[in-house]
Amino acid sequence: MQKIAMLGSGFIGRFYADSIHGQRSRDRVVAIYARSEANAKKFAEDYRCSFWATDMEEVIAHPEVTMVCVALPNNLHEAAVMLCVKHKKAVVCTKPLGRTAEEALRMMQAVEEAGVFGGYLEDLCYTPKFLKALASVKEGALGRILWAKSRETHPGPHSNWFWDKEQAGGGCILDLGCHCIEIARNFIGKDVKPVEVMCWAATQVKPIDAEDHAIALVKYENGAIGQLEVSWTFRGGMDLRDEVMGTEGTIWINNFLRTGFEMYTSGSGGEYVAEKAESNTGWLFPVGDEVNDLGYNHMFTDMFNAYEEGAVPAETFYDGYVVNAVIDAAYRSAQTKQWEPVVLPVWRGQEGVSQKTTLVEYDEHYYLIKEEVTHDGRHKIILKDKQSQQIIERDL
């Protein structure tokens, strides 16, 4: 059983607490830190926490607390993690781990040197659909992964600090791209090095310094390509979709909008439909169990099990740091309009992986390029002559 101190009583702190207290869970949020007394008291009342304070260190150091959950604005993650290290408390931190890879690396090194458990709360790598898709990819159902695309777009975040570049550390690339990068990285293989990034970013709509729309390509050392599409200006709710393409197959996942639950209402019911939904009348696309469908349940189960068993969770501070390094390269690329290298002073995966090509043997003279039955009933094959390199076609 874990006794958790929640740092932050806002949007994600409440989603996390709903997940941790969900169903018949034995884990409890026992302490809450918030800036204002009113928010701390309200959260403590809502989640029956035995302790609340407006002093972060007091909450972290509380003797009843076995694990700390950082659910604070991005500029406060590092200070919160360092306090956990000081008090030797296991810590799980929301995304993005840092505002930059430099911050994330300091956090990673601090927990590792102190021997403190550090889990990265990347919920979208724990959705039921993602977990099933990843298992299929790992079993080889898609063959060699060539391309993994992830999209997270919505009409923009719900609190002022997100829109302030200094506190948030960036715009939608940092806020939403962190999910997309880690999703693609899981499918391509976490031990495959992300080497360079090409990014387009713009502030198309909102009166802010950071970007509100971006697209980026992340090149991996084995030749695979990751793609992210993020926006704070998308209209119509929250669009969370992934696509994976391999030599033997394809996966399309829709995690949130249009997942098979459609409802019409004239507007006489409640106001809340789903995260970032823009309307509560007309045809709506609610979500069955947001806490589960967004991955929070599986994520906390993995974190708590790993901590209790002395194991490593699927998402660690190291993963958070790699993601931050990819994001840093994306920001540089958006400025220079060039492919920018991913700078990873610490890298624990494979080195020097070469790009594979898949040649399908047809017979001793030819490689097979393509086989197809056409609409006029012909069974065609397209072959490449191994010696002359000539490409020919034949009817079977």
Ligand X SMILES: NC(=O)c1ccc[n+]([C@@H]2O[C@H](COP(=O)([O-])OP(=O)(O)OC[C@H]3O[C@@H](n4cnc5c(N)ncnc54)[C@H](O)[C@@H]3O)[C@@H](O)[C@H]2O)c1
Contacts with ligand X, residue ranges (CB under 6 A): 8-13, 34-35, 39, 71-74, 76, 94-95, 121, 123, 159, 161, 175
Q: Which is nearer to ligand X, 265 or 292 (CB)?
A: 292
What would the two tokens of residue 146 be? 């060539």
Contact between 70 and 77 (Cβ < 8 Å): yes
Contact between 327 and 343 (Cβ < 8 Å): no
Q: Which is nearer to ligand X, 161 or 339 (CB)?
A: 161
Smallest separation, CB 28 to ligand X (Å): 19
Strand order in the sheet with 379-385: 360-361, 366-373, 379-385, 391-395
Collapsing DSSP states into helix, strand and coil, what is residue 4? Answer: strand
Smallest separation, CB 202 to ligand X (Å): 21
Q: Which is nearer to ligand X, 37 or 372 (CB)?
A: 37
Smallest separation, CB 72 to ligand X (Å): 5
Give, to the nearest 10 degrees, the angle between helix 317-336 and helix 177-188.
110
Smallest separation, CB 325 to ligand X (Å): 18
Contact between 154 and 237 (Cβ < 8 Å): yes
Our measurement of the distance from residue 302's CA atom to the centroid of its chain's CA atoms, rounded to an integer in Å, reads: 15
Q: Which is nearer to ligand X, 95 or 213 (CB)?
A: 95
- Rounded CA gap, 146 and 251, in Å? 12
Smallest separation, CB 219 to ligand X (Å): 26
Nearest to 144 by CA among 74, 248, 40, 243: 248
Smallest separation, CB 288 to ligand X (Å): 17
Smallest separation, CB 56 to ligand X (Å): 7
Q: Which is nearer to ligand X, 175 or 221 (CB)?
A: 175
Smallest separation, CB 25 to ligand X (Å): 19
Q: Which is nearer to ligand X, 13 or 246 (CB)?
A: 13
- Rounded CA gap, 221 and 353, in Å? 6
Q: Which is nearer to ligand X, 220 or 296 (CB)?
A: 296
Collapsing DSSP states into helix, strand and coil, what is residue 129? Answer: helix
Question: How many Cα neighbours within 13 Å face the side chain of 8?
Answer: 22
Q: How many helices and strands in the chain, by DSSP H and E?
A: 12, 19
Smallest separation, CB 370 to ligand X (Å): 42
- Rounded CA gap, 207 and 93, in Å? 29
Question: Do strands 282-284 and 340-341 pair parallel, antiparallel, or not at all (unpaired)?
Answer: unpaired
* Start-to-end Cα distance in the chain: 65
Q: Whose structure tokens read 């659910």?
A: 71
Q: Which is nearer to ligand X, 5 or 145 (CB)?
A: 5
Q: Which is nearer to ligand X, 175 or 242 (CB)?
A: 175
